[in-house]
Amino acid sequence: MKSRKIQAATVFVFIWALFWLGSCTHQPGVYYDNTPKVSNNCSTDTVYFQNDIQPLLNSTCAMTGCHDAITGKESIVLTDYAAVMKTGGINLQNPASSAIYRVLSKSGEDRMPPSPAKAWSSDQSAALLTWISQGALNNACTDTTCDTTNVTFAGSVAPIFQKYCDGCHNSSNPLGGIDLTNSNQLALLDSNGSLLGAIRQKPGYIPMPLGGNKLSNCEIETIAIWIRDTTLSAGSNQQQQTLGRH
């Protein structure tokens, strides 16, 4: 009698263990530490969730109608670290098989973000993969140095737009009629003050990046210096008519 009970208990434990192990392999990455890890220096070898990944998710995935908390298409919400870890299909054992990474390079309608939104660049996808490979931590860095000695559009400003803005403001998806990859439009936004007004989040302007955190002081300063040092405003008057501010 006794041994039968023990047998039954063993079988039960065995079955339970199978389920438990099964749930581990099918839901990798659901165990995570939400505590933010903030470094005082930004290491070029590290990809930081808060600095590098969340802004990209905000501008390309976590918007209304897609993967914000309200819409949550396919039950995927990408608005913050905990949501990404819970719903992004992160696989720490095999980072390249993480759903959030795989969808970036799928073809046709399966690709995320879906057309007409621009696909993530290879650098952006590589950064996501590195972040997962480095443990998918809730990490951030605060760089106190701000190097503005040699500000150029390609080297300094475009990377900021690519991270925070281009997902909503490119030629195939110019939200609000604004394409930040078009120099004529940049010139217009500069000439009417709305580019700096929006990123400085001044009253009277729609705060940008929409739905995301304000750019760092260094990023805002970089864009301001570039505007000051270029002749962007020249020649923009004839555009004013068609693209004028509402």
**Spatial contact of 53 and 163, defined as CB atoms under 8 Å apart:** no
CB of 237 to ligand HEC, least distance (A): 18
Closest by CA position to 79, among listed 104, 50, 44? 50
Interface with ligand HEC includes 198 (CB under 6 A)? yes
The only residue of 128, 189, 227, 232 in contact with ligand HEC, by rule CB under 6 A: 189
Nearer to ligand HEC, 133 or 216 (CB): 216
CB of 97 to ligand HEC, least distance (A): 28
What is the chain's Cα-based Rg? 23
Interface with ligand HEC includes 178 (CB under 6 A)? yes
Please identify, among the stretches 43-51, 135-143, 160-168, 226-234, the one whose residues bind ligand HEC according to the rule CB under 6 A: 160-168
CB of 110 to ligand HEC, least distance (A): 22
How many of the other CB atoms lie within 10 Å of CB of 193? 15
Interface with ligand HEC includes 77 (CB under 6 A)? no
Residue 81 to residue 9: CA distance in whole angstroms:
40
CB of 44 to ligand HEC, least distance (A): 22
**Spatial contact of 147 and 91, defined as CB atoms under 8 Å apart:** no
Q: What's 27-70 look like in SS3?
A: CCCCCCCCCCEEECCCCCCCCCHHHHHHHHHHHHCCCCCCCCCC
CB of 162 to ligand HEC, least distance (A): 10
CB of 170 to ligand HEC, least distance (A): 11
Going residue by residue from 6 to 45, which x/- string records binding to ligand HEC, judged by CB under 6 A?
Answer: ----------------------------------------
DSSP 209: S
The only residue of 175, 217, 228, 229 in contact with ligand HEC, by rule CB under 6 A: 175
CA torsion 29-30-31-35 (nearest 10°) is 100
- Bridge partners of 170, per DSSP, are 173
- Bridge partners of 174, per DSSP, are 169
Interface with ligand HEC includes 157 (CB under 6 A)? no
Strands 139-141 and 37-39: parallel
Nearer to ligand HEC, 65 or 108 (CB): 65
Looking only at residues 205 through 224 of this chain, which bind ligand HEC when binding is defined by CB under 6 A?
205-206, 208-212, 215
